[in-house]
Structure 1
Amino acid sequence: MVKLANSNACTGCGACAFKCPKGCITMQENKIGTILPHIDESSCVGCHACEKVCPVLNEVLPSQSQKAYAAWSLDDEERRTSASGGIAAEMYKLAADNSYKIIGAAQQEDFCVKHEMAASIKAIEKFKNSKYVFSSAYDVFPLVKNAIRNQQKVLFIGLPCQVAAMRKIYGNAEHLLLVEVVCHGTTPVSYLRQHIDKLNKEAGDIAKRMSFRDPYTYTYTFTFTLYNADNKLFYAKRTKDGDTYQFGYHRAVSYRENCYHCRFAKPERNADITIADYHGLGLVKPAAYDAKKVSLILVNNEKGRDFVDRLIAEKRIFAEERPLEEPFKGEAQLRHPSLKTKYRKMFEEDIEKYHGDFEKAIKRAQNKYMREEKINRIMALPKCAVKKIIKIIGIK
């Protein structure tokens, strides 16, 4: 009998559904909004192809990173409008200019996120910027298969679990370049839709566009924004301002369960190239610039090195080589998965209790967090006052 990864470990990558020769596996939401594979056992022939391709049950042999760079796009507008240093956009542009098919995550009209394949740099705009929600890559699996068969080059940028799925399906295919974005976790899309519906009702408006890191409010502020059909901004809040979705994401409260057991959050990498915000810049060696709008690039093999070398040689990006150990010290996600907190455990209880109602489930955890943060700030006041007094009177 076929046995897939359990619900606590499954990433929802969809590799099993793609590989099933009978098409008897479909990706479906469970009662709390998590997308998981469902097997129609009446059609299953027990070939076990799904088990063999699962990157959780059969991990890809990862590699050690070879080089680390602090980098950013030399196109000022590209860097301004990108979530980090604009490196992903420059990768897409280099690939498209050299006849690659490019694949990235694009938000749809209903606010779900799907990977799409394109051949033109016009598609880059919808691939840009952070998307803090579960994204489905399984629709592009057959497109990648056809491209490789026709000896077309493909650049895929996705999450580590999606890259692992690609690696299990296609191995080290010569024409496939795999780039992973360091990930802290993904939130079910049903939570995002519920949140937007609530905000629409409160504002008496209808969101047609949204952003998690809006360039209008500067991407480094992590402001959640909504725009109506006239492109008018009618909502903008950060975690500290009380936005429930941002709280759930940035405090690691509302992720899929597998994200807290992630097999791919470790120093060894499955992608040719790894990119992220550069956390930890300056920890090992002084830097002449701060980490704001700076990307990390990890080169993990020769294929990745050749591509990054071209980005640098063609002056598409600024890149300074950094001590290899530095990003691993600064970015916890390169060492271990997101950790469960007491707030996460409260959310786990309440999302089950309220049958997947995100707004009801998140409030108890958020209220407790906000109360404790307020107490911590009050407790810190005397120390702050002392420091100010010392500074004013000039005691050293």
Structure 2
Amino acid sequence: MELAGKESCTGCGACAYVCPKKCISFKKDETYYDIAYPVIDEKQCINCGKCQKSCPALNPLERATPISAYAAWSSDSEERRTSASGGVAAEIYKYALKKGWSIVGASFCEDFKVRLELADDLDAIKKFKNSKYVFSSTADIFHKIAQKLKEGGKIVVIALPCQIAAIRKIFHDKLDDLLLVDLVCHGTMPYEYLKQYIGYIEKSYCKKAVRLTFRDPAKGTENFALSLYDEKDVCFYSCASFEDIYQFAYHCMVAYRENCYHCCYANSNRVSDITLSDYKGLGACSPCKFLEKKVSSVLVNTTKGREYIDELIHNNLIVVEKRPIEEPIKGDSQLRHPSVKSFSRRLWEKKYKRNFVNVTLYVYKMSEFRNILLGIYYLPNRIFRKLYRILSS
């Protein structure tokens, strides 16, 4: 049996879950940037083909074109303050729990690993909130979803598009009991990189990190501050996005899984009922009275999604303004095409030798140097344009 190649495998885990012999495991490929890929134990494989049939990369799903778009935020000011954008995801979770449903989201677990978890209580929302710029494991979540659905439960899942696609493939006959919400994704970085990075910061500060946040509410989630806290919950490291090498690797698309640069979900046709993201480009297509700061973009893709959002609005859980559908699509490149391999990414690939911190520091410095050279190169042209505008006026 042949599984999806490195350019398309998202690591969603659907193949491993459906395998009747449990002979598929994920192993780190040391020759390919230490990224984990599924490997079949050929001695146990019975060639049933279930792994291939369940793979969203090998069998693309039908997708929905958004039917409406909103700029939205939570009516709860504290929820909005502590959420990555407008806090709409938190309100989706809270309303689901109120209806007696279960919720699924990404949560930090031991040693800063991230995995999808199923919960039935409000406390879980605190763990699910905010961005987690690292690969999230689906280990065990499919089993938990299957058990909950077998018991007659309903579930709201908020996850990455590739994970939503896996859930749709596996539970295609139970979709009536699932509300699927995907997050606009730029890419994911392997856990191995985060582990190395945290170790590097701990060594530099002689501190042990016990809590990590990628968009620290204490610094304003819109500022993308990566913060590390010690056992006394005192912040000993905090740095804004492009000044921190891990955030540089993420936001500048330097160290993603290979499939992220070929992502089939990075377009306006979605695999979910609802799509959430930061609202980029707010006001570009139609006048707007408020800023995009702390505002969520909500794309409603199906009738089921529209009914759920209407219920949130009717119960005054979220504040919304209807927007042109094309506005968030024009504003966010990830709704048009996958992340593009830049000069920094290609240099990173060339120099990578199993040490994320060293190679990223090198690429970061080279990127800064390159930007300086480009600034000098284009300086005469900028001066000429400025003088031309002055003389023309």
Q: TM-score, normalised by structure 2?
A: 0.95
Question: How do 1:352-367 and structure 2 match up within 5 A?
Answer: 354=353, 356-367=354-365
AA of the residue aligned to 2:364: Q
Answer whether contact 1:109 1:208 (CA < 8 A) is retained.
Answer: no
**Aligned counterparts of 1:363 and 1:42: Cα–Cα separation in 2:** 43
What's the secondary structure of 1:236's corresponding residue? strand
How big is each residue's C-alpha offset from its partner over 1:198-257, in whole Å with a ceiling of 9 and x where there is no partner? 01001011111111110111111111111111111111112432x211110010000000
| Aligned residues: CA RMSD | 2.1
SS at structure 1 position matched to 2:111: coil
Aligned length in residues: 390
Distance in 1 (alpha carbons) for counterparts of 2:207 and 2:21: 45
| Partner residue, 2:44 | 43
2:11 maps to: 12
Question: C-alpha distance in 1, partners of 2:220/2:54?
Answer: 41
- Structure 2 residue 310 is the aligned partner of structure 1 residue 309: yes
Question: For 2:355 and 2:300, how far apart are their aligned partners in 1?
Answer: 41
SS for the counterpart of 2:175 is: coil
**Residue number in structure 2 paired with 1:208:** 210
Q: Deviations over 1:358-390 (max 9, x none)?
A: 012212321111113334556787899999999
Deviation at 1:77, TM superposition (A): 0.5
Gaps of 5+ in 2: none
Partner letter of residue 219 of structure 1? T
Which residue, out of 156, 177, 180, partners 1:178? Answer: 180
CA–CA distance in 2 between the matches of 1:216 and 1:379?
40
What's the CA shift for 1:336?
A: 0.7
Does structure 2 conserve the Cα–Cα contact (< 8 Å) formed by 1:33 and 1:189?
Answer: no
Q: Which residue of 2 aligns with 1:199?
A: 201
1-structure distance, mates of 2:319, 2:298: 11
Q: Are the aligned partners of 1:103 and 1:156 in contact in 2 as well (CA < 8 Å)?
A: yes
Question: Structure 1's 197 and 321: CA in aligned 2 closer, same or farther, altered over 3 A?
Answer: same
Partners of 2:238 and 2:123 lie apart in 1 by: 27
Secondary structure of residue in 1 paired with 2:163: helix
Find the aligned partners of 2:276 and 2:201 in 1 and give their Cα distance: 33
Secondary structure, aligned partner of 2:320: strand
Counterpart position of 2:20: 21
Encode CA deviations 1:137-162: one digit per residue, 9 max, x unaligned.
23210111111122201011000000
Q: Provide the C-alpha distance between the structure 2 equivalents of 1:232 and 1:211, rounded to a whole number of angstroms.
A: 13
The whole-number CA distance in structure 2 between the counterparts of 1:264 and 1:59 is: 10
Specify the SS of the correspondent of 1:178.
Answer: strand
Q: List alignment gaps of at least 5 residues for structure 1.
A: none
Residue type of the alignment partner of 2:209 = A
Distance 1:291 1:386, change over 3 A: farther
Shift of 1:8: 2.0
In structure 2, do the counterparts of structure 1 residues 81 and 9 end up closer, same or farther at CA, with 3 Å as the change threshold? Answer: same
Q: Which amino acid in 2 is paired with 1:236?
A: S
Corresponding residue number in structure 2 for 1:274? 275
Percentage of identical aligned residues: 45
What CA distance in whole angstroms lies between the structure 2 residues aligned with 1:240 and 1:188? Answer: 19
How far did 1:104 drift? 0.4
Per-residue Cα deviation, 1:67-114 (whole angstroms, up to 9, x for no partner)? 000000010010000010001111110001111110000011301100
2:146 maps to what in 1? Answer: 145
Instruction: Return the alpha-carbon distance in structure 1 between the equivalents of residues 292 and 373 of structure 2.
Output: 30
2:264 is matched with 263
Q: Is this contact kept in 2: 1:346–1:364, CA < 8 A? A: no
Q: Is the 8 A contact 1:13 1:138 kept in 2?
A: no
1:69 corresponds to which residue? 70
Q: What TM-score, normalized to structure 1? A: 0.94
For residue 60 of structure 1, give the secondary structure of its aligned residue in structure 2.
coil
Which deviates further from its counterpart, 366-375 or 5-14?
366-375
What amino acid does structure 2 have at the position aligned with 1:16? C
